């Protein structure tokens, strides 16, 4: 996927980063030893073959001169912290971190190396799989997500700064950051559909009391979609991309989206794997608010990432209008 946030580096810079991480004796020579993995939207990632034949992945944060959305600032530090927490507190399979460098000496942004996972990306292959197999994978994702959500935190909000005593305060800040990002860049979120940023703010404010039911901060991955799941021989072998993790409400997780946003898929298999009963009326209100937040992100981020293909923007804005209609707008 193409995005202006991808911080591509020269072969010489990549070789220097490899040498620092694994030693000069393993730095590759010649050509063809670094191949960009093009599926992600935000960071650039390379598959690198070391001189001893091992394959590793190098992930590089966006360049400092590129404006990102508020919640994306410091995303790599969040991912590294999330990986350490998941490895320490769960059995969920995630990549090991071979080496991380935040010095900015060899690159203008932080980067880290991890082993290459020899497996298929579920998001890429799922359209070619039988429906029953896809459902089994969703059940597996649900079970892993439940294990992640069992981790409790000291407060609500950013993973590295859980500064809020309540989920209402944390989620209000999350929403306001996204709306402010959109206003800053003048992103059209649906003026032709009869609502604007003020209308959206009012929807969140009018239903904020549903957030008060959330009493305990839980680790929330938020981005656990099939595209961040690696599978092999019918089993989930790794969960990747953890830079969106926060302390919040487990219902904020991507797997619950389909309960109130049919366009993103059916959540039944996820709920079975998770072990979650049918959502209550209050939970459904919260889930609609979270869907509204997600669609705002998907609409606004297209401008920040410089998308030239309008497909995501058009889809997200259409879904945003439909969900706003369910709130009476």
pLDDT digits (tens, 9 = 90+) for 5-20: 788 899 999 999 999 9
In the prediction, which pLDDT does 40 show?
63
CATH architecture, domain defined by 11-115: 2-Layer Sandwich (3.30)
Q: Is there a contact between 253 and 143 (Cβ–Cβ < 8 Å)?
A: no
Neighbours of 132 (CB within 10 A): 8
Q: Name every residue whose Cβ is closer than 8 Å to that of residue 79 and which is 6 or more positions away in sequence.
A: 241, 242, 243, 245
Q: Is there a contact between 85 and 151 (Cβ–Cβ < 8 Å)?
A: yes
Q: How far, in Å, are 45, 75, 121, 284 from residue 39 at the CA level? A: 9, 18, 9, 32
**Strand intervals (E) in 276-317:** none
Closest-CA residue to 304 (of 139, 180, 192): 180
CA 317 – CA 187 distance, rounded (Å):
11
Q: Is there a contact between 6 and 44 (Cβ–Cβ < 8 Å)?
A: yes
Residue numbers of the chain with a pLDDT score lower than 50: none
> What is the maximum span of the chain, computed from C-alpha positions, in angstroms?
64
In the prediction, which pLDDT does 204 show?
97
In the prediction, which pLDDT does 305 show?
85
Bridge-based pairing of strands 120-121 and 229-232 is antiparallel
In the prediction, which pLDDT does 7 show?
84
CA 81 – CA 160 distance, rounded (Å):
8
Closest-CA residue to 219 (of 140, 292, 154): 154
**Strand intervals (E) in the chain:** 34-37, 44-49, 55-60, 99-101, 111-115, 120-121, 157-158, 218-220, 229-232, 235-239, 246-248
In the prediction, which pLDDT does 263 show?
81
Query: Domain spans of the chain?
Result: 11-115, 120-326
- Encode pLDDT of 39-49 as tens digits: 666 788 999 99
* Three-class secondary structure of residue 156 per DSSP: strand
As a CATH number, domain 120-326 is: 3.90.1200.10
CB-side neighbour CA atoms (13 Å) of 297: 17
H/E stretch holding 304 reads helix 281-304
């Amino acid at each position: 996927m193409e995005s202006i946030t991808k911080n591509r580096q020269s072969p010489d810079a990549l070789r220097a980063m490899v040498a620092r991480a694994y030693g000069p004796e393993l730095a590759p020579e010649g050509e063809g030893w670094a191949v960009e993995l093009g599926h992600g939207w935000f960071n650039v990632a390379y598959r690198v073959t070391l001189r001893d034949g091992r394959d590793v992945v190098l992930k590089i944060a966006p360049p400092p001169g590129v404006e990102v959305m508020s919640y994306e600032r410091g995303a790599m530090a969040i991912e590294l912290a999330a990986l350490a927490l998941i490895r320490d507190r769960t059995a969920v399979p995630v990549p090991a971190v071979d080496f991380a460098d935040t010095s900015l000496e060899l690159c203008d942004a932080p980067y880290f190396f991890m082993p290459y996972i020899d497996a298929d990306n579920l998001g890429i292959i799922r359209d070619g799989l039988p429906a029953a197999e896809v459902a089994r994978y969703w059940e597996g994702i649900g079970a892993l997500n439940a294990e992640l959500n069992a981790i409790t935190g000291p407060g609500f909000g950013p993973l590295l700064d859980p500064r809020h005593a309540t989920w209402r305060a944390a989620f209000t800040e999350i929403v306001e950051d996204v709306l402010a990002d959109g206003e800053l860049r003048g992103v059209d979120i649906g003026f032709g559909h009869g609502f604007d940023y003020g209308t959206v703010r009012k929807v969140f404010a009018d239903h904020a009391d549903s957030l008060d039911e959330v009493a305990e901060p839980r680790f929330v991955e938020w981005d656990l979609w099939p595209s961040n799941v690696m599978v092999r021989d019918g089993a989930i072998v790794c969960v990747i991309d953890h830079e969106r993790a926060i302390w919040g409400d487990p219902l904020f997780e991507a797997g619950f989206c389909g309960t109130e946003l049919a366009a993103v898929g059916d959540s039944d298999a996820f709920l079975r794997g998770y072990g979650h009963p049918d959502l209550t009326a209050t939970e459904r209100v919260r889930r609609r608010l979270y869907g509204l937040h997600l669609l705002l992100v998907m609409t606004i981020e297209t401008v920040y990432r410089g998308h030239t293909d309008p497909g995501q923007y058009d889809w997200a804005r259409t879904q945003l209008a439909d969900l706003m209609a369910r709130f009476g707008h």
